[in-house]
Structure 1
């Protein structure tokens, strides 16, 4: 599975835990570490904050419209 696939799987699980459906980057990292991910923390963070975030800015931003940043380090699924 790709880094994006792994993040989405964890995000779906975490979004059900919190009433507002939000989760933090740290939450994602913790679960992925427990599952012995092959992806580095930096790669996971980059995917969440840049590639997968619909409201990210920058040259490689929002390649996928998977997440929305609702506050610093806090996201929800779209």
Structure 2
């Protein structure tokens, strides 16, 4: 399972009963660490804030995905 897959699985479980579908980056990190993820915290944070965020500045050589939108500092919405 890729880091992105694991993050999406975690976020979907976290926001399942929430309206709007928002979460804090620290919730994802702590849940993934509790589930014994193999990914370092820095990788998880980078994926959420950059690789998987449609509102993040896009680096020119990296593939990005429109999975989340930043709604506040450290808080994102599942798209």
Give per-residue Cα distances to partners, 1:10-31, cap 9 Å, x unaligned.
1101112433211010000010
Uncovered stretches (5+) of structure 1, i.e. residues with no partner: none
Give per-residue Cα distances to partners, 1:15-56, cap 9 Å, x unaligned.
124332110100000100010000000000000000000000
Deviation at 1:62, TM superposition (A): 7.1
| Distance in 2 of aligned mates of 1:52 and 1:59 | 12
Q: Secondary structure at the match of 2:69?
A: strand
| Distance in 1 of aligned mates of 2:10 and 2:76 | 12
The count of corresponding residues between Structure 1 and Structure 2 is 78
- RMSD value, Cα: 1.6
